[in-house]
Amino acid sequence: MHAPRRGVLFVCLGNICRSPLARVIFEDLAIRRGVADRFEIDSCGTGAWHVGAGADPRSVQIAQRYGLTLNHCARQLNPDEDFERFELLIGMDQSNCTTMIERGAPQTRVQLMRSFDPTLAREPAHRIDVPDPYYGGDDGFDAVYHMLRRACEGLLEHSIRS
The 3-class SS string of 114-147 reads: HHHCHHHCCCCHHHCCCCCCCCCCHHHHHHHHHH
C-beta separation of 19 from 44 below 8 A = yes
Averaged over successive runs of 10 residues, the pLDDT of the chain (162 residues) comes to: 83 98 98 97 97 96 97 97 97 97 98 95 88 90 97 96 84
Tell me the CB-side half-sphere exposure of residue 143, using CA atoms within 13 A: 11
Domains and CATH numbers, the chain: 6-161 (3.40.50.2300)
Could you give the angle at the alpha carbon of 136 between the alpha carbons of 132 and 142, nearest 5°? 75
At residue 162, the pLDDT reads: 79
Residues annotated as catalytic (active site), given as ranges = 12, 18, 132
**pTM metric for this prediction:** 0.96
| Amino acid 124: pLDDT | 85
Report the length, in residues, of the chain: 162
